[in-house]
Amino acid sequence: MTEGMEAAEAGRKSGHTSLLDSGEDFEVVDEEDLDDEPPPLEDAGGGPERSSSEAGRKTPDEEAPLEEWLDVLGNGQLKKKVTASGRGRASRPVKGQNVRIDLKTSLMDGTVVEEQPDFSFTLGDGDVIQALDLTVQLMEMGEKAEIQADAKYAYGDRGSLEPAVPPNATLSLEVELLEATDAPDVELLPPAEKIALASRKRERGNAHYQRGDYAFAVNSYSIALQIAESSSKVDIRPEEEDELLDVKVKCLNNMAASQLKLDHYEAALKSCVSALQHQPDNIKALFRMGKVLSLKGEYTEAIQTLRRALKLDPSNKTIHAELSKLVKKHSEQKGAEQAMYKKMLGNPSSSGSTPRPAAKSSWALSWKWLFGATAMAIGGVALSVVIAARN
């Protein structure tokens, strides 16, 4: 849930990671089950502001028992049950607000995974597992609820190291909604707070990447990028501007990595170009740009880009391997193209007819004989003229 515990999921791969893969190269959750707005939940108990004429009437939810389960998405994989009524439907939080909750997470056998009193996150930003992002939007202020979430909407088939959640685990969440407030204006945030906020969003994107949720990773990186790129209405020191620029480039690099995983090559290329506009010698941006160009079939440009990256980091084995593979592929492509051109144009040596040098020689002799005869005739005329002149 927090950045530290999410980053611990980086154990998806074993073995040595290279400079280009460390810290930044991090099955997308099907989004077809996610509606833009969660299905409505009828008021569970009504608020204190009801008029006296309504006081005697009970809504359908007031008549229904609190322990009735709501199938949030209609697929049986995310369910919510109200255990204590809140202050009415009008008190529900909305996307973009900062919410504060008490949270207890357990496995279905009752094993407590973690307890987080007074836990805060931005609703709808992907800061937490999908089960919380989707169900808290349906809670009323002061409401207590129990949530059962399939692994698809929790920690997936990879599980989590911190908190300790095994792969494919269904979770039981006990949630109380304490507060919802509007998010602060990022333009008015002190630079240090803006840097910290953008970094948290980026780290959340890293956690999504590590679990293979590349579309959600792109979303988190986009939010972090918006924060880092926002103008500031407060004074900012040069070193703080450098820190924000560093966060921005990291977000663009990580976004390009996620877009590559999604086969969104044009978007990935755009992210690399943007990163290089800020830092022309950024090795990771050059490396990923080379990979994108290679996947697009633009081998010459890809080789030039990777050679530029290798020049900046000559000992990098990852760049060496990628460049060698690309040069070989490019050579094979050129060979195939040459063979195709020969086939299209035809090969004179394979036509079965051989050139006839004798005919060529005959023409050469004819021209030589004609030239000699002409020269002799001209010489004879000249000699006759000389003799006639003497006589």
CATH of the domain at 101: 3.10.50.40
Q: Give 218-267 pLDDT, tens digit per residue.
A: 999 999 999 999 999 999 999 999 999 999 999 999 999 999 999 999 99
Distance CA 287, CA 292 (A): 9
Do 35 and 129 fall into the same domain? yes
**Residue 188 domain flag:** no
Distance CA 271, CA 205 (A): 15
- pLDDT attached to residue 42: 35
Do 201 and 173 fall into the same domain? no
Last residue within a domain, chosen from 282, 303, 333: 333
Q: Is the distance from CB of 303 to CB of 323 less than 8 angstroms?
A: yes
Do 306 and 202 fall into the same domain? yes
Do 177 and 36 fall into the same domain? yes
Do 201 and 152 fall into the same domain? no
pLDDT band at 79 (very low <50, low <70, confident <90, very high): very high
Do 164 and 214 fall into the same domain? no
Last residue within a domain, chosen from 146, 165, 183: 183
Do 35 and 173 fall into the same domain? yes
Q: How far is CA 377 from the centre of its chain?
A: 88
Residue with token string 């690399």: 272
Do 319 and 205 fall into the same domain? yes
**Residue 241 domain flag:** yes
Q: Give 44-69 pLDDT, tens digit per residue.
A: 333 444 443 443 444 434 444 556 89
Q: What is the residue range of 259's domain?
A: 193-333
Do 35 and 179 fall into the same domain? yes
Do 127 and 261 fall into the same domain? no
**Residue 215 domain flag:** yes
- pLDDT attached to residue 83: 96
**Residue 279 domain flag:** yes
**Residue 202 domain flag:** yes
Count up the domains in the chain and report the number. 2
Distance CA 291, CA 287 (A): 6
DSSP per-residue codes, 310-338: HHHSTT-HHHHHHHHHHHHHHHHHHHHHH
Last residue within a domain, chosen from 183, 208, 233: 183
Sheet strands side by side (includes 98-107): 69-71, 78-84, 144-149, 171-181, 98-107, 112-122
Q: Give 87-105 pLDDT, tens digit per residue.
A: 999 999 999 999 999 999 9
pTM of the model: 0.68
Do 173 and 35 fall into the same domain? yes
Average confidence (pLDDT) over 19-31? 43
pLDDT band at 21 (very low <50, low <70, confident <90, very high): very low
